[in-house]
Structure 1
């Protein structure tokens, strides 16, 4: 990415883990001193720019995207009384914004296990807010344009064009387009019937239809998507094989010993693993539907349904002109989510933002960041605050939560997975891991099956990064005692 005038050029570094994709990269922060607040504040009069040539009635604020970030941004506008008659959302989806994590969890449960369905998980139920159904948007005077993705941006005229040919006007624009799945090329079978990718409700509906008649399922990828989908397939009691090139599942976070414990649980649920395996092509049967996965070593895995979870990429088209960060593959923003173009912001998965506490630029594909970045951006846009975004990386997964499951899984991770790893517990059901740097500072912490109080301690530990006694952590007799020891380190440091 070309540096803006008066700034330093970003330098590449090694990658930090991110679920399913190498989206978090270690690079120096892009200085944002040249992005003054005054350069981004400008008035916008709806009346002055009103024109019959534009299809949207609400033009002061326009959000492009229909996922978590868009829904939470809308809620923030409503909370500050700035939505009614002012806000328009343009989405490629035919439904109102919703909590996407449900798509690879509860949505894929078999019918007898009470699967999640809309409107049950519209935003913002994931954080305890109102259910933002289509009626909610109408009640709050928010214009929503469904199933009509934006295809063109005209920065000079402050306008957008959609696939149906609509011309839309904006005063301030928030890009919340999220990610798209990395797909196999059609030439190796990536578009065959029975091959699925999951990013939206339509994708999940299509997969459920396949699972209803499936017998043998191949899940390609051992990251977030792969593990959550495989757990759901176990609920259907399907012959399921997970195929991935690494030595163990979730390699960007799990150590080999942590992964082994989860893999054993999956095996107990009849899920098989093919590790160190590389895909050659997906083969079709006589009916044109996928029938097998052929590996580079020549072996074949029979499958009438294939789910591909090999990563995601930021959905930046048609917004490249506002300024890209090629290192992390997103739209470059500052600590207020402002792009280099006045009046245009980017939030959620698509934003390459300064990860303040680790002094690098990152792009985070996670619902927690989508929620928090949306709120922070809107409040900055409305001049509610001027403080920069200070995000603490957080990831979690919940699987095997359907009725009849012998063991539910719920883990959380906060912080940075760098340094020595100290593991405590035997997954019975608890398991904890602490990442400690060379200066004995706690950098990241992982916990499986904790209590609400224990999970509540994790972000405090990861943000405060207390000095801990490695020897005592290693000798801790239980997860509870290890967490107590880590927690006491915070108090000791505060009183020192």
Structure 2
């Protein structure tokens, strides 16, 4: 069986490795639009941007590994169309036939429209290696940075900029930072962390446009104020890469829709990672995380080889900001109760999410113990008494 994987990120690398580990001896070809071999994305906005991690350490696999596994990497090659009838992928170089096709096309950064100045020089997104390579030389001490967007990417960029001694203002249009992804209690901890490190945060503040003509000079706010800047980073979310799937007639639903096995509406085409959604509690869930990219890609690889085992996600996430680590287990969507527990340090603690009395997620800032215990409880389907969380002398007692 000839397997073609379109998209050369974390999911592609995990899927290719799993296929070989499970004994697939047939052809595996990976097609990627970027010139770089599959690399880690989380360090881009942190260690790589800070200059603490080189390109070699960013790579998921060495060149020798790809050669040893006999997996050709067709890099800097853009997949332009899929012919499901002929089972052929057309790229900007040639046609590539397949018996089974996997789409691991990932997601792309949302950009501000050109009419708002989003295409001006000095306006940067953080999603790809090329994005960060363009941004890094601009991150110089004393410069003024405006970050648009108070999600994890924007907050991580703000933290790195302060470490590099830039003056940083973060603007969030919603009433608070992390409004879509975390409880207010978690946002409070993260806000306090950033304020303590000198980040100015403007919440409930919309922008009308980026100022400047030849390059960005600042941001005009909806309330009439103008803030000067030497450079701007946008962290306003991502969009799943679905254009190739859509043009091939595949079903879309919050990304490329798959069944519980990871198969799309075409039985010969599969999908995994940031671009793909899968059945979860009567909806199509799409997770943007390294953990999901790895786990779903491995599950899809197994099912391509006949395992016939539904994918069961175990959501976990993390975010490094300044010297603090936020670790998240589970999904807090639909919670009806929050319980907090203080941590040991100034910036730390945990937030526990419950729905109908059941523990569904835990956010832990600088509290690895709370994260690990919460994760074990969630994976075991066990829910402690919410009142015991804040009062228990030792969280380990919750596992008893």
Normalising by structure 1, we get a TM-score of 0.76
Aligned to 1:159: 88
Residues 54-69 of structure 1 mapped to structure 2, 5 A cutoff: 60-69=2-11
**Equivalent residue for 2:73, pick from 136, 144, 157:** 144
Q: Distance in 2 between matches of 1:455 and 1:473?
A: 13
Q: Deviation at 1:322?
A: 4.4
Report if aligned partners of 1:291, 1:303 keep a CA contact under 8 Å in 2: yes
Q: Is 1:324–2:243 an aligned residue pair?
A: no
Question: 4+ runs of 1 displaced by more than 4 Å?
Answer: none
Match of 1:486 in 2: 398
What are the residue-to-residue correspondences of 1:34-53 with 2, within 5 Å? 44=1
What is the alpha-carbon distance in structure 1 between the residues aligned to residue 160 and residue 381 of structure 2? 36
Structure 2 residue 170 is matched with structure 1 residue 255? no
- Tell me the residue number matched to 2:352: 434
Q: Which residue is 1:105 aligned to? A: 46
Structure 1 residues not aligned, in runs of 5+ = 1-43, 45-59, 124-131, 401-407, 489-496
Q: In the alignment, what sits opposite 1:196?
A: 124
CA drift of 1:186 comes to: 0.8
The total of aligned residue pairs comes to 396
The one-character-per-residue Cα deviations of 1:4-55 (angstroms, maximum 9, x if unpaired) are: xxxxxxxxxxxxxxxxxxxxxxxxxxxxxxxxxxxxxxxx4xxxxxxxxxxx
Flag structure 2 segments of 5+ consecutive residues without an equivalent.
none
How far does the alpha carbon of each residue in 1:130-183 deviate from its partner, in whole angstroms, 9 at most, with x for none? xx12232122211111111111111111111112x3111111100000001111
Q: Does 1:353 align with 2:278?
A: yes
Q: CA deviation at 1:485?
A: 4.1
CA deviation after TM superposition for structure 1 residue 188, in Å = 1.2
| Aligned counterpart for 2:303 among listed residues 380, 387, 391 | 380
Richer in strand (by share)? 2
1:398 aligns with 2:398: no
Q: Confirm or deny: 8 A CA contact 1:289 1:304 kept in the other structure.
A: no
- Alpha carbons of structure 1 residues 213 and 432: separation in structure 2 relative to 1, 3 Å: closer
Q: Which residue of 1 aligns with 2:108?
A: 180
Q: Distance in 2 between matches of 1:230 and 1:77?
A: 39
Query: How much has 1:213 moved relative to structure 2?
Result: 7.4
Counterpart-to-counterpart distance in 1, 2:384 and 2:284? 28
SS in 2 for 1:348: coil
* SS of the residue 2:217 aligns to: strand
Q: Is the 8 A contact 2:142 2:165 kept in 1?
A: no
Q: Specify the alignment match of 1:217 in structure 2.
A: 145
Deviation of 1:218 after TM superposition, in Å, equals 0.5
Q: Greater CA radius of gyration, 1 or 2?
A: 1
Q: Distance in 1 between matches of 2:267 and 2:196?
A: 55
1:331: how far off?
0.9
| Contact persistence 2:186–2:363 (CA under 8 A) | no
**Deviation of 1:484 (Å):** 2.5
Tell me the TM-score normalized by structure 2.
0.94
Structure 1: distance between partners of 2:189 and 2:363: 14
d(CA) in 1 for partners of 2:71, 2:91 = 18
